[in-house]
Amino acid sequence: MGVERRIQVDDAMVSMKGDDAIVDDKIKLVSSYDKQLHMNLGLPDAITAPFLKAGGVGRRMMAAMFWMSSPITRMVFRIVRLLPWWLKHIMTGVAWKLWLTLHQKFPKSLRRGISDSLSIEAHALSNAMWWVSLFPCPVFCARFSLSQLNVNYPPTEDKNTQWIDSVHTSGLRSAYIRLTPPSETSPRVLCWVFGGAFISGDVDGNRGLAERYGRMLGCDAFLVDMRLCPESSVQDPILDLYRGYEWLLQQVPPENIIMLGISSGGGACVRMLQLAAADDATRKEYFGDRTPALPSLPPPAGAILLGPFVDYTQVTGSMEKNAAVDLVVSPGVLETILPMQAQLTGGMDKLRLCSPVYQSMKGLCPLFISVSEHECLIDEDTQLARSAVAAGVDVVLSTKPYMCHVYQLLACFLPEARDEEARICEWVKARSIIWA
């Protein structure tokens, strides 16, 4: 190609000339870590296998117990939703400090994270979260869990937030959080796209996180509201994001915008930007009769993708293998999502059309892809990086071993996540003088 591209491998920046060498080395690097893993809190396979394998006796028993207690679970969820953010934040903080203090007194032999190299905080979090993998994760549980992200970073008063009702879809309310001085007539804006495998996630539950990043970057934050599946199909939230980005471009120029997408939100960012750069026929093929002709849109200054979900056609090798160690994309999550693939995209014939990893990367903005080497989406994210580099896109693939999916959102707990936050902010500030 003649144009130098960069792929970030752990702490090193490595130059690359449009071939697959460095990304392929990354895949080999992932494999080299496997021998160090401590699976399932170090418990013997004979004990854990019946509870983790599909159809196992223990797994069926845990599922039965879960569904029998689901009315109580739903009641508890409703009560928790009513509690103020500040109270939930204090309760969570106190519980975490006690749990971490206990782990700091444990001998190393009782620290049960998947690698000895992890921080004590990561060991403590693993010991708490691993048990979730024993249970199902139906849609109502996923929606509750992601609605509570503000527990870690409560949003400030609503006086900073302008709620924007969609003129196209009833019930959607995006949020613009003003964090810069009112004198800034053309502020920089972080366009935040929530995740949740398209079945969960919401604007209100992400406000605190978006505000945290906005303050670190010295910019405003815009959280786009999107419809959820299975009530809608994947094309609908992509359309909502398209219109949200179009609205934002009416407020500020594209070079003032950085996008940040989480998991399925990262996939939504990529697919929306592909469609924004495509011709009318391509947009019509994707959206069908959902909308009249949409205009092409200029790309933003860059896009941050946290563990983007970009391949809806298959169960990748890392998805099959790493569910055993990924504390977020657990077997219960896969049991919910995988049978819904065709329903989410509107039919088996549309799986590839909806998957960003198989579409043209031409004209995309610079990408910062942040992913764990031991999460379920590492395979498709390295493929995304490879395809984008081949299309001439500036890409940074930033990875850490032994972390769970979207670990970057756990900076309140993990020093590893705080390190990645710093990398992300450095990358954003290097985009242009506007963001410096």
- List pLDDT tens digits, range 252-305: 999 999 999 999 999 999 999 999 999 999 999 999 877 767 889 999 999 999
- Residue 435 within a domain: no
In a domain? residue 293: yes
Judging by beta carbons within 10 Å of its beta carbon (0-12, 13-18, 19+), is residue 364 exposed, middle or buried?
buried
Count helices and strands (H / E) in the chain: 17, 10
Number of domains the chain contains: 1
pLDDT at 17 over 60: no
Please tell me the distance from the alpha carbon of residue 9 to that of residue 400, in angstroms, as a whole number: 9
Q: How far apart are CA 314 and CA 110, in angstroms?
A: 37
Q: 73 in a domain, yes or no?
A: no
CATH number at residue 234: 3.40.50.1820
Q: Which of 388, 374, 390, 408 has the alpha carbon at shortest distance from 27?
A: 374
Whether residue 12 is predicted with pLDDT greater than 90 in this model: the reply is: no
pLDDT (tens digit per residue) in 90-99: 999 999 999 9
Q: Which two tokens stand for residue 269?
A: 């960012």
What DSSP string runs through 333-388?
HHHHHGGGHHHHHTSGGGHHHH-GGGS--TTPPPEEEEEETTSTTHHHHHHHHHHH
Calculate ∠ Cα 145-192-198, nearest 5°.
50
User: Does 61 reside within a domain?
Assistant: no
User: In degrees rounded to 5, what are phi and psi of residue 202?
Assistant: -160, 165
CA distances from residue 297 to 215, 217, 290, 363 in whole angstroms, order as listed: 27, 24, 18, 11
The span from the CA of 260 to the CA of 223, in Å, is 10
* Residue 405 maps to a domain: yes
Name the residue with higher pLDDT: 31 or 374.
Answer: 374
Residues in Cβ contact with 122 at an 8 Å cutoff, skipping those fewer than 6 apart:
113, 402, 403, 414, 416
Residue-level pLDDT at 436: 72
Q: What pLDDT is attached to residue 167?
A: 85
Task: For residue 402, tell me if it sits in a domain.
Answer: yes
Task: Enumerate the H helices of 154-277 as residue ranges.
Answer: 207-217, 235-249, 264-277
pLDDT tens readout for residues 298-327: 999 999 999 999 999 988 888 888 888 899
- DSSP class per residue in 92-106: HHHHHHHHHHHHHTS
Confidence category of residue 24, pLDDT binned at 50, 70, 90: low
Distance in angstroms (rounded) separating the CA atoms of residues 319 and 244:
31
What pLDDT is attached to residue 23? 54
**Mutual angle of helices 70-82 and 139-147, in 10-degree steps:** 20
pLDDT band at 158 (very low <50, low <70, confident <90, very high): confident
| CA–centroid distance for 152 within its chain | 16
Torsion-angle region of 245 (φ positive above 0: left; ψ -120 to 50: alpha; else: beta): alpha
Question: 137: pLDDT confidence band, cut at 50, 70 and 90?
Answer: very high
- 393 lies in some domain: yes
Dist CA 256 CA 184 (whole Å): 12
Q: Which two tokens stand for residue 147?
A: 């609605």
Say if residues 254 and 299 touch (Cβ distance below 8 Å).
Answer: yes
Tell me whether residue 333 is in a domain: yes
Domain that holds residue 267: 5-32+147-429
Residue count (the chain): 436
